[in-house]
Structure 1
Amino acid sequence: MKKHWRLGLIACALAAATHANAQSSVTLYGLIDEGLMYSNSSQTGTVGGAHNGKSQWAMMDGAAGIGGSRWGLQGTEDLGAGLKAIFTLENGFNINTGTLAQGGLEFGRQAFVGLSSPLGTVTLGRQYNPMTDFVFTTSVANSVPGHLGAHPDDIDDLGHSQRINNTIKFKSATFDGFTAAGMYGLGGVAGDVTNRQFLSGALSFASGPLTVAAGYTSARNPNLSYFGTGGTSGPATSDNLGSVGSATAAQSNPVYAGFSSAHSLSIAEGGAKYQIGPATIGAVFSHISFNNLGDLNSGPNPLRYRGTAIFNDAEINGSYAITPSIQVAAAYDYLHGGSVSGAGGSTGGVTYHQGLVSAAYLLSKRTEVYAIGIYQQASGRDSLNQPAVASVTNVSPSSTDRQTVVRLGILHRF
């Protein structure tokens, strides 16, 4: 009798443990993206306004490919009545050196906790812009090219370059094909609730082969609140948008690096895609404005810019699944920036043309090999008030107005 009682107690304990395990879980996941990169022109330095540059072959992590290498933890706990507690901690790293990405932050890609219900999800922490999340799905960056296929210097963040700190984010459940999201970021500055404030909202609709998405973002003091969230970001005296370079270092993000003194940043973008059998066609439009240049509480202004720098970007894209294992994609992007007045007079505006082709072969559900080719041409004067140089996202800018980039890579998900 005593033996049966003990066996029954053990069975109850095992059943309880199994039930508890079913109600909560923690999942380890990740992605490793490695590739061989070729650029026909990469800056090695700038002296007296003249750029030095040479062709380059290099092994580069997926931050300059489909997606940066990462590992993360996702957890969920069932609280009953359809309510769940959730969290995500996601680390970025460079596979070639083993170093941390995002300026050395341990969980620089994402770090948030929240609650999920049948109506939607609320999360708090370091997160992606919901506008970018929604519109990204209609761009070529959501296809084979990934981050490398973003628009010049990822000016509208469709390549998910930016993460926003100290945010509250809500994403609704999907009702009749509609999904909505909003985010508010607190600047945390005593006595001024609007300083470094971040606001964003987005809406998407999906029905059958059609997906449409649109959103709007407003970032106050963007040099600090939007671009200044990495581990190596500096105060208002630093240019967190990019770099003017030096005799021994290349420039970075010359498309917009000169606009760090903007009082605010506004981005409105929308896109649509339509699937026809194995083919998908899409289009995206973005309107970006760096408003009220000259605010030294936001960032430095060595070129003494004033007024507003406005950019309009348009992309058309297409992808095709030749077989379930072979996918190809192509896109053309046009970016135009208006003239800006500064110490050297008006810049006269700038234009970028970018075309790409890509192909991927899926060896399994988790592993693929791929090839991406991009050509970009620039004209006019860019944000550094220099003859515009080509600048493919996450690749060292060209020393000339043209740049060709080719990447052969392998990606593994776990």
Structure 2
Amino acid sequence: MKKSLLALAVLGAFAGAAQAQSSVTIYGIIDTGVTYTSKAQTTNAPGVTGINTGSKFAMNSGVIQGSRIGFKGVEDLGGGLSAVFNLETGFNNDNGALNGQDPGTTNLFRRKSVVGLAGGFGSVLLGRQTDWADTISAYTAVADFGGVIQNSGSNLNRLQGVRTNNSISYTTNNLSGFTGNLMYGFGETAGKTSAGQSFGLGGKYDNGPLGLGINYYQSKQGPTPSDTSLLANAAPLSTVVGAANAGASAAKVLNVVASYQFGPARVYGNYSRVKQDLNTVAVTGLTDATRVTGATLGLSKKADMYELGTAYSLTPSLKLLGSVQYTRADFDGLSGKGKLTQFNLGTDYWLSKRTDLYAFVSNLRAKDMKNPGVYADTTGNDASQTAVTVGIRHKF
């Protein structure tokens, strides 16, 4: 009897040690808002002629942060080395559908799918992941307004978080406030390594109230581009994605961001430049007279983006928010510059550490280019659109 009890005690000790050395965490976000949008243009049902334009009420999933569920784990391998993984899928909780699939794919863990090693040297991750622009977006209005501001430029400049397939990244540990990152995406094209490849270099510096960040990302055209933004732009770029352009630079993105905490107020600003060298024929058929109805940021050859904003903590639970985004875009073969300006006001109230209520009002104005709409609802020929959203977010 004593030997049996001793054996059970030893087995229990081993089981406890094994559990202490490895762990898996399930986490997620559910974010849903109700939005009123002025001057919204929506697609009509098949066979219905005319344009369906007017005010619109809608329920939107992932207003500030995309709704998601994820799994992350770590196993202690000894000697300060750990095996790590992270799987994360997005969904629309207003209808239960998977969210944001790459064109022509049915990928499940589309938000993140990585495995790697971590230790005193930093971490190395392999799989599908965002570049460093997603990390330093914590210093920008993306942290407060999320997807509300994506159409004014932060989706194009990658601050909203764009994925890179078939990628490997290295991130240093915190070195006296500095953290650096390197990324490389494989184009997986036989006989031409440069086709579809991408690479990124970034860093951030945290020192008390000061936060600074910089990132550069470049991707190249190819039949299987690692940069998923090229998959999203496949239709407008269909005339330039042929074999003759494989390996040519398709996107070059630079982000410089800064944030400073003045007591209860966080003040921030950033600048981004996006160059899309292959956008030389995508606006064929447009003229300066028709650009307002046809030219979008995704078709621009070069875009410069500026942002200023603040988040003021009125109480520990209540924040008042404000930001302005301004973008100037050049289109090949067209004179002048298209301009987008977005003004945002908002409030965020935390009911607990995991649940908050928010309310936003945004106005997006376009000049000499198409207005993309605050929530991807186009405004036709009208230069201004306003959207008001109230919503709830829960983290688990």
Query: Would you call these one fold, judging by a TM-score over 0.5?
Result: yes
Matched, 1:378 2:366: yes
CA distance in 2, matches of 1:358, 1:395: 19
SS at match of 1:13: helix
**TM-score after normalising by structure 1:** 0.82
1:203 match = 203
SS at match of 1:55: strand
Match of 1:291, as an amino acid? D
Question: Unpaired segments of 5 or more residues in structure 1?
Answer: 242-261, 295-299, 382-387
Match of 1:8, as an amino acid? L
2:274 match = 288
CA distance in 2, matches of 1:337, 1:43: 23
1:395 match = 376
How far residue 150 of structure 1 moved from its aligned partner, in angstroms, is 3.3
2:168 match = 168
Matched, 1:327 2:319: yes
Do the aligned residues in 2 keep the contact of 1:45 with 1:53 (CA within 8 Å)?
no
Match of 1:333, as an amino acid? Q
CA distance in 1, matches of 2:304, 2:222: 18
Do the aligned residues in 1 keep the contact of 2:213 with 2:257 (CA within 8 Å)?
yes
How far residue 4 of structure 1 moved from its aligned partner, in angstroms, is 1.7
SS at match of 2:174: coil
Give the 3 Å change call, closer, same or farther, for CA 44–149 of structure 1 in structure 2: closer
2:284 match = 303
CA distance in 2, matches of 1:304, 1:214: 37
2:391 match = 409
2:213 match = 213
1:250 match = none
How far residue 302 of structure 1 moved from its aligned partner, in angstroms, is 6.2
CA distance in 2, matches of 1:87, 1:177: 25
2:343 match = 355
How far residue 229 of structure 1 moved from its aligned partner, in angstroms, is 7.2
Aligned-pair Cα RMSD in Å: 2.4
1:194 match = 194
Alignment deviations for residues 128-179 of structure 1 (CA, whole Å, 9 cap, x no partner): 1113322x02111112x1222335152212122x211000011100111111
1:120 match = 122
2:135 match = 133
Do the aligned residues in 2 keep the contact of 1:292 with 1:308 (CA within 8 Å)?
no
Give the 3 Å change call, closer, same or farther, for CA 181–222 of structure 1 in structure 2: farther
CA distance in 2, matches of 1:318, 1:52: 36
How far residue 292 of structure 1 moved from its aligned partner, in angstroms, is 3.8
Give the 3 Å change call, closer, same or farther, for CA 69–365 of structure 1 in structure 2: same
2:227 match = 226
Do the aligned residues in 1 keep the contact of 2:170 with 2:182 (CA within 8 Å)?
yes
How far residue 240 of structure 1 moved from its aligned partner, in angstroms, is 7.4
Give the 3 Å change call, closer, same or farther, for CA 101–240 of structure 1 in structure 2: farther
CA distance in 1, matches of 2:209, 2:271: 20
1:33 match = 31
1:100 match = 98
1:367 match = 355
Alignment deviations for residues 368-400 of structure 1 (CA, whole Å, 9 cap, x no partner): 11111111100013xxxxxx22432x4322222
**TM-score after normalising by structure 2:** 0.86
Match of 1:349, as an amino acid? K
Q: Per chain length, whose mean CA-contact separation is higher, i.e. which structure has more relative contact order (CA < 8 Å, sep 6+)?
A: 1
How far residue 304 of structure 1 moved from its aligned partner, in angstroms, is 7.3
CA distance in 1, matches of 2:174, 2:22: 24
Give the 3 Å change call, closer, same or farther, for CA 51–220 of structure 1 in structure 2: farther
Question: Unpaired segments of 5 or more residues in structure 2?
Answer: 45-49, 239-247, 287-298
Give the 3 Å change call, closer, same or farther, for CA 303–184 of structure 1 in structure 2: same
Q: Which of 237, 258, 270 is the matching residue for 1:272?
A: 258
SS at match of 1:97: coil
Match of 2:4, as an amino acid? R
CA distance in 2, matches of 1:146, 1:366: 17
Aligned length in residues: 364
How far residue 52 of structure 1 moved from its aligned partner, in angstroms, is 4.8
How far residue 109 of structure 1 moved from its aligned partner, in angstroms, is 0.7
CA distance in 1, matches of 2:138, 2:164: 20
Do the aligned residues in 1 keep the contact of 2:165 with 2:228 (CA within 8 Å)?
no
How far residue 263 of structure 1 moved from its aligned partner, in angstroms, is 4.4
CA distance in 2, matches of 1:151, 1:117: 38
CA distance in 1, matches of 2:220, 2:113: 22
Give the 3 Å change call, closer, same or farther, for CA 228–351 of structure 1 in structure 2: closer
Do the aligned residues in 2 keep the contact of 1:227 with 1:240 (CA within 8 Å)?
no
Identity of aligned residues (%): 31
How far residue 208 of structure 1 moved from its aligned partner, in angstroms, is 0.8
Give the 3 Å change call, closer, same or farther, for CA 337–317 of structure 1 in structure 2: same
Alignment deviations for residues 273-296 of structure 1 (CA, whole Å, 9 cap, x no partner): 1001111101100011111434xx
SS at match of 1:372: strand
SS at match of 2:94: coil
SS at match of 1:132: helix
Do the aligned residues in 1 keep the contact of 2:41 with 2:52 (CA within 8 Å)?
yes
